Amino acid sequence: MKPHLPPFMYNRKSLAKFVLLTGAIAAGIVVACGPDFPAQLLDDRSGTLYSTPANSFRFEASHLVVPSDKLQARESGLLPDGSYRSDAIPEDFDGALTPEQCAIARAMRALPDGDQAYAAGAALPEAARLYTAAAVDIRATALPDRDAAISRARARLQAILDLPTAEGSARSAWAAYMLAEIGDGLTEDTGAKPLDISSQAYARIRQLVRDGAQDPLGLALASYGQQARQYLAGPEGMCTYLDLVNGAPCTDDLSASALKEAIRLYAEQAARGSSDGQASLRLVADWALSAPARASRLIDDPISQRLLVAYALSRVGDIVDGKPDSAFDTFATFDTTGQRGYADAATGTPNVTPNPVLQALVKALDTQDVRRIQDADRVAALAYRVGRYDLAQALASRLDTALAWWIRAKLAIRQGDMQQAAQAYARAAAAFPRNDDSIEASGMVRLKAEQGVLALSRGQYVEALDQLLHAASQSDANSLLDDGWQLAPYWNDAAYVAERVLTADELKTYVDQQAPASAMPPVPAGFLHFDYEHFYAWQVKNPIPVADRLRELLARRLMREGRMDLALPYFPADADARFATLTSDGEKWRVVPSTSRQHAAQYTATLKKADNAWGRTARAQAWFEAGRLARRNGLEIMGYEQSPDFAVYDGNYTYGAGRSPEPWRQSDDGNGSQPLLDTPAKRAEAALPGPLVTTDERLRFAASEAKPYSRFHYRQIATDHALKASEMLPNRSQAFAAVLCHGARYIIDDSPERASKVYLQYIELGAQVPFAGGFGRECPEPDFQAAAWFHYTQAWKAWERLRRDHSGLLWSAGLLILAASAACVFAWRNNVSASRRLKSDGQA
């Protein structure tokens, strides 16, 4: 299956065959590879704030001219019913024919010449009958008299245009398009210039569609590209796609005026939504910028100039670390907005060298009168990119566009004037709603996020969160990633500020005032039985708003800080289907509703019971249940959004969000080359380098660190709970050994050293149990009931052993005790009698 190529890649014959025989466009497949993390800016603050503002090439290419009509591109290869057929013919795309008539047209196309096809098409409307017959003659290259066949086709196509408007409307645009492709013969008759005749022929197609002719194949827009191709013909013939890619000599023979006209036509096509037009502009711009002389020939034309500047900003890389090849590595060179953002983290100085292509373009622009440069804000951006800050300042200072203010913000940052930069960012944001097309929507999201980065660097933490959160909220780039993550760009930046910089009280105040819970969407019928496709299709249409994500982050943070009753309302309702997950047993998919609020409530109640239950065994059982809840549900009820738990990615990765990827694994290698990050302060210093981080931010970062500081820190908490349970149980009981076994199991994979310590505690204090051989791996349920009676049971067992082993001695001891008791009683009775006699004598 061939890819859909830009219009000028086809020669006349192949394009005619393409349109007449198939009319379909091959579909492309995009394969995503994971993990694919959303964009974040705080990884490199200097690079973010020093980077050059730029729109995507797609946006700029579609705004080179303003369309004067409502023609729209139709470049999909799908049939009207949404299906795709590799053997589709143009009639399949035509809603004017019935299925039976489409079958007749297909049969006509199988005939050897147009006359036979016309005779077989009596059941078709006259315009469709004439067109299909003409198509057969154009296609039938094996006919003995090829010229005569083309003449017959030309006559039939003209006959369509001569039909009354209502009768010919269904095929008039098609006929005009094919006449433009094969030529209408007027050149020989009138002596007119071929290029003029061709231009008029293609213009006629567009006018017919403007006047109401049907155009299911999007031929009106395609005509712009085909007309532009005519201007790419030099003395050696037509320059092809490969000629432009390879910079063949024929391309340098093209006149500047012809190139400018071709660019204008491609711009008209792109402005109406044509991806073909955008691709053609991209190839022409790439060719022009590959040699300074080519760009110089086009620089004085407003449309061509803006095209070259737009391409330079969005598609031309810089030289990274002195490696020329890096300029062509778009993955290493450009960020998500197509612009450079590399800088030295310590000094803020860019560590890139401007591409010589960019420098040559700026030099060519320098020859123009800056007062007459259109869209000077783009030129200012290019000047900033190559280090011509004087030119950038001169151009941006005389404009009031959002892009110009954005550049002025960058210039202020370079001068160290952060206050002025903040004001310029605000002016840029305010300029956007005034029908300002200097920045595309995604660029405004980026600008808002950069405001947040600047605010954070100035210690304005709440303002930073607000701006980053709004950038994430306003992003139109939300997407469902391979693992079901619905994450907007810059959410991770906002989450970092919320989780590690703001205090819990500051965050709670912000959430209460600025982030109310959104309304739950209705749960679709049969939701719990959705398969993979239906589940994620529904989630794409019902994404989780970032405000709700922030509320959940706050809930987990309050749980970690022991403010559990306050935390519960911020968890999503368990009935909210947006927070449901999908699981599979290998054969069948199953939707699992959210249970975070339920489990948080259970955990809270269990901890209260552990503190207040009557009896040590009851408290031990509560601590054990709390540990189990912490281990099984800790990520959802108390996990960090970012390091060290990475709840944002369901705990699946140890990087891709936040400031400190896997810092707990950093240790001294014995040679002193890697410092031991053994304190929160040291880890904060390592995670937050550079001049754009305040001392207070590092202190806050250290204070908000996970306690204990370990990967999946809640598992350590689960073990702590198990140890608390063991302290309240008899050492020799089964329950004592079992809870320690579970405590070791919770962390045996993450922290084997601590698991070993738990095992040694059991060895030192516990009794031999059957599961000792699989300690930490296979653990039975603790028998708390037996533990509650453990001391009584042990006393009874001791008595039973004594009675069984020493029965004679027990009888003798019993008789002695009985005799002693009798003697005591006898003595007591004698004493009582004597006392009574003495009392009686005294009274006497």
If pLDDT is split at 50, 70 and 90, which confidence band does 654 have?
A: confident
How many angstroms separate the CA atoms of 535 and 532, rounded?
Answer: 5
Residue type, 319: I
pLDDT at 822 over 80: no
Given a contact cutoff of 8 angstroms between Cβ atoms, the answer to whether 212 and 169 are in contact is yes
pLDDT digits (tens, 9 = 90+) for 177-217: 999 998 865 555 545 567 888 889 999 999 999 999 999 99
The reply to whether 649 falls in a domain is yes
The reply to whether 615 falls in a domain is yes
pLDDT digits (tens, 9 = 90+) for 123-181: 999 999 999 999 999 987 666 788 888 999 999 999 999 999 999 999 999 999 999 99
pLDDT at 594 over 90: yes
Whether 744 and 824 map to the same domain: the answer is: no
Q: Identify the pLDDT of residue 569.
A: 96
How many angstroms separate the CA atoms of 249 and 234, rounded?
Answer: 10
The reply to whether 468 falls in a domain is no
If pLDDT is split at 50, 70 and 90, which confidence band does 11 have?
A: very low
> What's the full length of the chain, in residues?
844
The reply to whether 740 falls in a domain is yes
Q: Identify the pLDDT of residue 296.
A: 92
Number of domains in the chain: 2
Whether 606 and 718 map to the same domain: the answer is: yes
pLDDT at 351 over 80: no
The reply to whether 729 falls in a domain is yes
How many angstroms separate the CA atoms of 175 and 154, rounded?
Answer: 9
**Of residues 821 and 167, more confidently modeled:** 167
If pLDDT is split at 50, 70 and 90, which confidence band does 57 have?
A: very high
Whether 634 and 715 map to the same domain: the answer is: yes
How many angstroms separate the CA atoms of 339 and 606, rounded?
Answer: 52
Q: Identify the pLDDT of residue 613.
A: 87
pLDDT digits (tens, 9 = 90+) for 226-266: 999 999 988 878 888 899 989 899 999 999 999 999 999 99
The reply to whether 657 falls in a domain is yes
Whether 792 and 811 map to the same domain: the answer is: no
| % of the chain surpassing 90 pLDDT | 59
Given a contact cutoff of 8 angstroms between Cβ atoms, the answer to whether 447 and 429 are in contact is yes
Whether 788 and 811 map to the same domain: the answer is: no
If pLDDT is split at 50, 70 and 90, which confidence band does 692 have?
A: very high
Least confident of 186-190, 495-499, 519-523, 807-811: 186-190
For residues 459-465, give the mean pLDDT.
97
Is-above-0.85 flag for pTM? no
Least confident of 355-359, 443-447, 714-718: 355-359
pLDDT at 672 over 70: no
If pLDDT is split at 50, 70 and 90, which confidence band does 355 have?
A: confident
Whether 763 and 739 map to the same domain: the answer is: yes
- The rounded mean pLDDT for the chain is 84
When mean pLDDT is compared over 182-186, 252-256, 341-345, 360-364, the highest value belongs to 252-256
- Domain housing 601: 596-662+711-796
Whether 824 and 787 map to the same domain: the answer is: no
Q: Identify the pLDDT of residue 28.
A: 25
Query: Phi and psi of 640, rounded to 5°?
Result: -70, 140
pLDDT at 759 over 70: yes
Whether 729 and 621 map to the same domain: the answer is: yes
Q: Identify the pLDDT of residue 173.
A: 95
The reply to whether 762 falls in a domain is yes
Task: List Cβ neighbours of 521 (8 Å cut-off, separation of 6 or more).
Answer: 542, 577, 578
Please give, one letter per residue, the 3-state secondary structure of 731-769: CCCHHHHHHHHHHHHHHCCCCHHHHHHHHHHHHHHCCCC
Least confident of 13-22, 305-314, 766-775: 13-22
Whether 789 and 745 map to the same domain: the answer is: yes
For residues 687-693, give the mean pLDDT.
90
pLDDT at 779 over 90: yes
Whether 624 and 736 map to the same domain: the answer is: yes
Q: Please classify residue 262 by burial: count the beta carbons closer than 10 Å to its beta carbon, then call 0-12 exposed, 13-18 middle and 19+ buried.
A: buried
Whether 715 and 829 map to the same domain: the answer is: no
How many angstroms separate the CA atoms of 719 and 732, rounded?
Answer: 20
The reply to whether 601 falls in a domain is yes
Please report how many Cα atoms fall inside a 13 Å half-sphere around the Cα of residue 729, on the Cβ side: 31
If pLDDT is split at 50, 70 and 90, which confidence band does 588 have?
A: confident
Question: Token pair of 770, please?
Answer: 């059957």
Whether 723 and 831 map to the same domain: the answer is: no
pLDDT digits (tens, 9 = 90+) for 549-560: 999 999 999 999
Q: Identify the pLDDT of residue 137.
A: 92
pLDDT digits (tens, 9 = 90+) for 67-99: 999 998 888 888 777 788 888 888 888 888 999
